[in-house]
Amino acid sequence: MAELRYNPLLRDWTMVSADRQRRPQTKSGECPFCPGSGKVPQAYEVYAYDNDFPMLSGNPPEPDDVAFGPYSTQHAYGKCEVVLYSSDHDTSLSSLPTSRIRMLVDLWVERFRALSQDERHKYILIFENRGAEVGATISHPHGQIYAYPYIPLKLQQELHSCEQYYTVNQRCLLCDMGEEERRFGKRILVETEYFESYIPFFTDYPYGAFIASKAHRTNLLDFDEAERNDLAHMLKLVTGGMDRLFERPFPYMMVLHQAPVNGAAVDAFYHFHIEFYPPQYSKEKMKYAASSETGAWAPGNPVAVETSAPMLRTAIESLRGE
């Protein structure tokens, strides 16, 4: 059973898939993403393939006949893909050479372009869950791509906020955020030629870094060769700094925020950026979404980011000196 169930309280959709319960918890020496598993090529550098346990699919089953009154269902149409960063089970995004991360960026571009060709896809989300602390069931370095048949609520809200800001100011909100972070300085993590990373003023995670393009870009397809190289370099610096911070693999959720597809143009006001949601805020402590965050969407941050940003910046700078 797989379907979309409408939440009339939030005017959003919930993806339901009973097959997700069968996702593997890998044992030592067993990994479906390693060569020899029969699921991936015997040799590869980066690789994308269809998720074995998708929430969305190109040929979804009929929804269950259980929606009445204020409730409704839709077919769980879409696409779920796994993106493998390396055939090496024991590496990570931060450990890969920049040239390999550039190959990953190119694969993201390729899949974004291909998935956007289906007019029923409305939003393409590229993301990574790293570490058991955020629910990753397989430790092999990988991310995922979901192509939704709707724009999820959080992203709708972000788009609406950017559009409103542009209407009032005739400027891009993310461009102005970057300008203010550079002016203030204390929350900046690292700058490269084409990208900047900072922990924004408002984040609810002590190390909730953003990576944003300095030029106004809306999605991966907008980047030229030099920008793709620089994005790969920035990803290595930020994730490497996170691992260096507490001298351990740093758990995080990483999400690429891009313009929707197959809908109204948003190029004037929407700006490409990557958001990290890392639960770890000290060597021993984790920040979890508790009742206030989950029940009221009222985020709280246990650390002022003007304190945490310099620590992560120092860890990143130590990498640049190597």
- Write the pLDDT tens digit of every residue in 115-168: 999 999 999 999 999 999 999 999 999 999 999 999 999 999 999 999 999 999
96, pLDDT greater than 70: yes
Report yes or no on 135 lying in a domain.
yes
Residue 101 sits in a domain whose CATH number is 3.30.428.10
Q: Domain count of the chain?
A: 1
State the pLDDT at residue 30. Answer: 87
Report yes or no on 27 lying in a domain.
no
Higher pLDDT, 30 or 73: 73
Report yes or no on 120 lying in a domain.
yes
Distance CA 146, CA 156 (A): 16
- Write the pLDDT tens digit of every residue in 191-240: 999 999 999 999 999 999 999 999 999 999 999 999 999 999 999 999 99
pTM here is 0.95
Report yes or no on 97 lying in a domain.
yes
Report yes or no on 273 lying in a domain.
yes
- Write the pLDDT tens digit of every residue in 44-55: 999 999 999 999
Say which of 121, 140, 142, 233 is annotated catalytic: 142
Residue appearing with tokens 């190289």: 229
Domain that holds residue 117: 2-15+34-320
Answer for the pair 85, 141: CB distance below 8 angstroms, yes or no. Answer: yes
Packing angle of the helix pair 225-245, 305-320 (nearest 10 deg):
110
21, pLDDT greater than 60: no
Report yes or no on 20 lying in a domain.
no
28, pLDDT greater than 90: no
Catalytic site includes residue 140: no
Report yes or no on 25 lying in a domain.
no
How sure is the predictor about 1, in pLDDT bands with cuts at 50, 70 and 90?
Answer: confident
